[in-house]
Amino acid sequence: MESIQATKQRFGIIGNSATLNRAIEKAIQVSPTDISVLVTGESGVGKESIPKIIHQLSHRKHNKYIAVNCGAIPEGTIDSELFGHEKGAFTGATATRNGYFEVADGGTIFLDEVGELPLTTQVRLLRVLENGEFIKVGSSKVQKTNVRIVAATNVNMFDAIKKEKFREDLYYRLSTVEINLPPLRERQEDIHLLFRKFASDFALKYKMPTIKLSDDAVQDLLKFRWNGNIRQLRNVAEQVSVLEQNRAISSDTLKGYLPTGASNLPAVIKTTKSESDFSSEREILYKVLFDMKADLNDLKKLTMELMKKGNAKDVQEDNQGLIEKIYGDNNDEETLEDLQVLSIPQKSETPKSYAAETDDKYHFAEEIEEEETLSLHDKELELIKKSLERHSGKRKLAAEELGISERTLYRKIKQFDL
């Protein structure tokens, strides 16, 4: 088994912190196996190095290694990118295309930012992890693949699961072994070492002398929080190397390249509403609307009882709970009086308009409407019809408006015989 130091030299990893060494050690240990690995850590800590180590030290090293940034691929095309598609599967699919899982058969796929995957794609990925099977978009043929999956994310997966943005079963399939890379602020002994390495690289790249930090500047470097981690440190080293004429960098000079007020902040407070906040507001609004609809239906029911029975006193006794819900339970005498005013003689047929003889302020000038159906099947059918009509039968546009995949819409069209 290759040593930790040899692995760091081979893959250009700088640092001697215990947490970094432990992460590399775990990567070396799982490399000979085919178990799935989840790499976690903040953005900019170098998570992309771990899957390279795992692939190169495994028996798959002579086969394909494909890195996929799941957050950079649009939701509408990610299934096609990962699993491929058949000719004519969707608009623009002029030829059959092999997806990454088919191309990388026998090799390794690195799924970066896996927490950004749509839920529909997560279901497909779960099937690949469970039995190595996948289906191309627009096809019904099941295909097999033999790939090693290494995933990475900077998202708190338990929060994502709680918010129903990530499947819990998929998380446990991906994280058979979890490797966490520590943030740079927890690797104090590595910060100056990394800065010197970056400064040396940029001096060679731009053909100029290497910059050197004063003792005070080194202390400022160590005190800074580095929210952007190694990526931010590298950018600062490059800026100073290119812009400063004097190669000896003082504390005051270095501070000019560090964002002010950010060195000791534990967190950034968000002032804008997140997507989950808006989602919660929508749920509350929907609940209020459904409650209003239920109250309206109750009122219709009570009114119909009044017109059919013609005796408000009997109706009040039979529907006491419903009356209290609509009118409250503090004005019983007034409620009874109002209901008696609405007492209407019973007729053989329900008339189209009604008027109370004893008080002009009560009038029913409209025909009582039938209670609206709450069938999900009917509502779904109605929405699909309206969307297809609005987009002149174009399934892709209709699917986008309805928030479903084009394949799902096609299946619904066949199901409802549209």
Mean pLDDT, the chain, integer: 82
Sheet holding 177-180, edge to edge: 65-69, 108-112, 148-153, 37-40, 177-180
What is the tens place of the pLDDT at every residue in 116-132?
999 999 999 999 999 99
Per-residue pLDDT at 258: 93
Tens-digit pLDDT profile for residues 38-79:
999 999 999 999 999 999 999 999 999 999 999 999 988 999
**58 and 32 Cβ atoms separated by less than 8 Å:** yes
Q: In angstroms, rounded to a whole number, what is the distance separating the alpha carbons of residues 295 and 29?
A: 63
- Residue 327: which residues within 8 A CB-CB, separation 6 or more? 335, 338
Give me the pLDDT at residue 343, please.
46
Residue 115, classified by CB atoms within 10 Å of its CB into exposed (0-12), middle (13-18) or buried (19+), is buried
Position 350 scores a pLDDT of 45
Could you report the per-residue pLDDT of 92-104, keeping only the tens digit for each?
A: 889 999 999 999 9
Supply the pLDDT for residue 321. Answer: 64
pLDDT, one tens digit per residue, over 352-366 is 444 444 444 444 444
How is residue 404 written in tokens? 């479903």
Instruction: Return all residues near 132 (Cβ < 8 A) that are at least 6 apart.
Output: 144, 145, 146, 147
The more confident residue out of 1 and 271 is 1
How far is Cα 138 from Cα 407, in angstroms, rounded to an integer?
7
Q: What pLDDT sits at residue 307?
A: 62
The answer to whether residue 151 scores a pLDDT higher than 80 is yes
Residues of the chain with pLDDT > 90: what percent?
59
Q: Give the pLDDT band (50/70/90) at residue 346.
A: very low
Which neighbouring-strand residues pair with 249? 213
Average the pLDDT over 147-164 and give the result.
95
244-248: average pLDDT: 93
Q: Is the dihedral of CA 160, 162, 163, 166 positive or negative?
A: positive
Predicted local confidence at residue 122, as pLDDT: 96
A 10 A CB-CB count for 89 gives 20
User: 33: burial class by Cβ within 10 Å (0-12, 13-18, 19+)?
Assistant: middle
What residues contact 29, with CB distance under 8 A and at least 6 apart? 1
181 in Cβ contact with 22 (< 8 Å):
no
Query: In the predicted model, is pLDDT for residue 347 greater than 80?
Result: no
Stretch 377-406: mean pLDDT, rounded? 82
Q: Which pLDDT belongs to residue 326?
A: 58
Q: Specify the pLDDT at position 395.
A: 82
Q: What is the SS3 assignment for 140-177?
A: CCEEECCCEEEEEECCCHHHHHHCCCCCHHHHHHHCCE
Q: Is the dihedral of CA 397, 399, 405, 409 positive or negative?
A: negative
Task: List, for residues 170-225, the tens digit of each pLDDT value.
Answer: 999 999 999 999 999 999 999 999 999 999 999 999 999 999 999 999 999 999 99
pLDDT in tens, 290-343: 777 777 777 777 777 666 665 556 655 666 666 665 555 544 444 444 444 444
pLDDT tens digits, residue range 1-49?
679 999 999 999 999 999 999 999 999 999 999 999 999 999 999 999 9
Gap between the Cα atoms of 234 and 301, Å rounded: 71
Asked whether the beta carbons of 37 and 54 are under 8 A apart, the reply is yes
User: Parallel, antiparallel, or unpaired: how do β-strands 148-153 and 108-112 relate?
Assistant: parallel
pLDDT reported for residue 380: 79
Whether the per-residue pLDDT at 263 is higher than 50: the answer is: no
pLDDT for the residue 80: 94
Q: Are 46 and 89 in contact (CB under 8 A)?
A: no
- At residue 331, the pLDDT reads 46
pLDDT at 123: 95
Residue 134 burial (10 A CB sphere; 0-12, 13-18, 19+): buried
Give the span between the Cα atoms of 147 and 101, in whole angstroms: 7
